[in-house]
Amino acid sequence: MTDTVTTTLATTLQLPCGAVLPNRIAKAAMSEQLAQRDGTTTDKLHRLYAVWGRSGAGLLITGNVMIDRDALTEPGNVILDDARDLDGIRAWAGAAKEGGAQVWMQINHPGKVAVAPFDKRPVAPTAIRSTVPGYNIRKPRTLTAGDIDVLIGRFARTAELAMAGGFDGVQIHAAHGYLLSQFLSPLSNHREDAWGGDPERRMRLLLDVVSAVRGTIGSDQPIAVKLNSRDFTHGGFGTGDALEVALALAAAGIDLLEISGGGYEAPAMTGVARGQEDRPHEAYFAEFAEQLRAHTDLPIMLTGGLRTPAHMSTLVSNGTVDVIGLGRPMTFVPNYPARILAGERPTLPRGPRRTGYRPLDGYLELAWHNAQIHRITAGKTPQRHPGAHTIARAATRLTKAAARQATIPR
Ligand SMILES: Cc1cc2nc3c(=O)[nH]c(=O)nc-3n(C[C@H](O)[C@H](O)[C@H](O)COP(=O)(O)O)c2cc1C
């Protein structure tokens, strides 16, 4: 059995652009929050990727990198909107590639959920506040058509800089309630122009971004998109919408579609959204992947709750998905893929205790695992039994970082 599991997951995968993944296990994007105040990279970030570069994963996708220094997802994000730190970007990519993995940069704009800098007003498809306390301090401004053109150019510019800095590909973040996913959602996009009004126009920005990035990086480099299978919000982006967008992305010629779900309001990506209670704790979005597979051969990566090697292998061998995405396990067991490929099933600590308030529980999941990332960079081993002090320390660190990022050096 183990041999079959190992053989399946160790198989290479050729993507439509011609690039080859050395195996089927990918480290999913996890925001590292390790950049300097001006968004440039740090030795800690390079060290982290030197560790993950030897993790056994065939593909490493970075935490989200900002395309615009006027809008950050979290304090400590890498910002890549000009060439000021290309040496740092090269060092980052170089460290990550040491073990032979493909290394892709995830590029993102938070839209209305931008937490920093405080001296700038967030932007959104429509000026509607986020409903989650903590993310709705400032009412967003509606983007003009001119602003949207500029943003498309920014996605393409960041992709171009990533490739110039030695990355092998890019992933466009269109999931989890950030700007591109805000455009896709009928709850946050009330526009009645070329960018909203019906599903076709709501997906236009994402498709234009894909096309601009393709125009910049060329046809032989990988472009991935991370998309929600649904937002888990009443009246929001649903499974039917996701299928349509996924098929449009396949037609647009992307190389890999990563499937996730949820956002700050309903953190389904980490398994804490309403409606997930009665679901298996394994492979949260596998059902959607099956539905999608019936319509397309587009390479699919599935991320969220995957923990059992036999289950991962079955999903790949029966053709439901092509790549298995792993997030949180990589923070507690940094060589998790290599261990799976060696036939082991590494144990992981239980997640943080749930409070019952889902947005907070989603935040605790992030803080709990981000704390382990910080330990790895300090040369420490991940904690065996993290507790409340882990969360308290992470919250203090993040609050201080947020205060430092009230403004961002230009
Ligand atoms: C600390 C942390 C940071 C994350 N940051 C990002 C991110 O920058 N971009 C993204 O697309 N997903 C992000 N995620 C979500 C993961 O990519 C993944 O979808 C989620 O953790 C579910 O996979 P898992 O069950 O294997 O952890 C983050 C998750 C964690 C725990």
Domain boundaries of the chain, sorted by first residue: 2-404
Q: Whole-angstrom Cα distance, residue 201 to residue 244? A: 12
Nearest CA to ligand 1 atom 16: 327
Of ligand 1's atoms, which has the minimum distance to the CA of residue 226?
11
| Ligand 1 contact, 327 CB (< 6 A) | yes
Nearest CA to ligand 1 atom 22: 304
**Helices 239-251 and 286-293, packing angle to 10 deg:** 50
Q: What is the pLDDT of residue 384?
A: 78
Q: Whole-angstrom Cα distance, residue 224 to residue 80? A: 18
Mutate-to-test residue for ligand 1 from 25, 27, 30, 332, highest number of ligand atoms within 8 A of CB: 30
Of ligand 1's atoms, which has the minimum distance to the CA of residue 260?
19
Of ligand 1's atoms, which has the minimum distance to the CA of residue 325?
26
Nearest CA to ligand 1 atom 9: 29
| Ligand 1 contact, 303 CB (< 6 A) | yes
The per-residue pLDDT for range 353-401, each reduced to its tens digit, is: 888 888 888 888 898 999 999 999 999 988 877 888 888 888 888 888 8
Burial of 299 (0-12, 13-18, 19+ CB in 10 A): buried
The per-residue pLDDT for range 79-89, each reduced to its tens digit, is: 999 999 999 99
Nearest CA to ligand 1 atom 11: 29
10-residue stretch averages of pLDDT, the chain, 410 residues long: 84 98 98 96 98 98 98 96 96 97 98 92 94 78 98 98 98 98 98 98 98 98 98 95 98 98 90 73 92 98 96 97 98 97 92 87 90 93 84 83 85
Of ligand 1's atoms, which has the minimum distance to the CA of residue 370?
1
Q: What is the pLDDT of residue 204?
A: 98
Tokens of 157: 């510019």
Q: What is the pLDDT of residue 120?
A: 92
| Ligand 1 contact, 228 CB (< 6 A) | no
Whether 255 and 223 have beta carbons less than 8 Å apart is answered as yes
Q: What is the pLDDT of residue 279?
A: 61
| Ligand 1 contact, 64 CB (< 6 A) | yes
Mutate-to-test residue for ligand 1 from 27, 31, 171, highest number of ligand atoms within 8 A of CB: 31
* 30 Cα: distance to centroid of ligand 1 (angstroms): 5
Q: What is the pLDDT of residue 136?
A: 65
Nearest CA to ligand 1 atom 1: 366
Q: Whole-angstrom Cα distance, residue 1 to residue 329? A: 22
* Class of domain 2-404 (CATH, top level): alpha beta
Task: Please give the distance of CA 48 from its chain centroid, rounded to a whole number.
Answer: 17
Nearest CA to ligand 1 atom 15: 30
